[in-house]
Structure 1
Amino acid sequence: AKRKLIDYRKPVPTTYNSKKVPGNVWEIPRVRYRMDEYENHPTQKPVVLLERIIRASSNKGDVILDPFSGTFTTSYVAKQLRRKSIGVEIQEEYVKIGLRRLEIASEYKGQHLKKERRSFELRVDERQGMLSFSER
């Protein structure tokens, strides 16, 4: 006699955006100094890139985790796309940018939060095979 298998697992989760991502090479320009979205970070990710990633891998209401938030671009985009987000950043300077950018606070420790523009220089140390960023 055959036995019927009963599946007690959780119901299948709803599918994410199932449209195929076109190709595996994305032509997205990096954030440059004179762009409106520039936020004083040497490796800031473009909003367009994170929109694409978040739309393809989550649904409205999902929680997005960014353990190295930098200028909180991931949280900023998640908020625009109606996702919840958890952003973690160790550098106080970038936390201030996140507070202002996400409209959580306009002041931090008595200091008014405003957008500033600085530029960074990429340096290559060929002996050690390392890249580093320094403020100009």
Structure 2
Amino acid sequence: MSVYSHARGIGDLPSVSEKKSIPFDRKIKMDGLKFLGRLVDNSVPAAFFDPQYRGVMDKLKYGNEGSRQQLRAQMKQMPEETIFDFVSEIARVLCPSGHLFLWIDKFHLCEGTSSWFDGTPMKTVDLITWDKERIGMGYRSRRKAEYLLVAQKKPVRAKGVWTNHSIPDVYQEKFQRDMSFAHPKPIGLQAKLIDAVTNSGDVVIDPAAGSFSVLAAAQQTGRKFLGCDIALGEFEWS
């Protein structure tokens, strides 16, 4: 029997938010943990999270933060405890067998991220390397890639949940510079992943949306988006 499936059968999900509903497909300005606290348990099939940490710059100290990485160097870093709080809340909101796509850098790839999942019903199931087709900074080797950790809420399964089996684990997509944001993410890759683990009309969340690339990816695939950014959102919500 094949372990693959091209149909996704998760079943009906509850309404995502309660009380004062958060509007879909808007660039909301809001604290990410406060945003997650408004969402219902087990209600969304997919979440993206790009923690604001500077593991590479702070640990390896390239020394060029004032030039090419000026925007990112100025952003407030999330401590490990805050990242854990985000992951825990995302785990609560994800439906059973739902996926979290978590952006990490080279430092965290080497040092590990297992502590971020302690006590949660999440398990790492895959890793995708984004080949940015662009040489970046580096004290020794020069960075050309970023990494997307794929975690799944239990029960862990692929058949009937992940429907696109043609996505390579090294994905080439040219880096698109965005002068308003320090580290934009690839819309094309994110759209393929959304399409693989959600159905048309499903809700995808991003509680630290940055450039809101996940919003663009959700719109490309006919999904609804809920997300916010504490600094770069355009629509105040309380």
TM-score (normalised: structure 1) = 0.50
Bigger relative CO (Cα 8 Å, ≥ 6 apart): 2
Q: Rg: which structure is higher?
A: 1
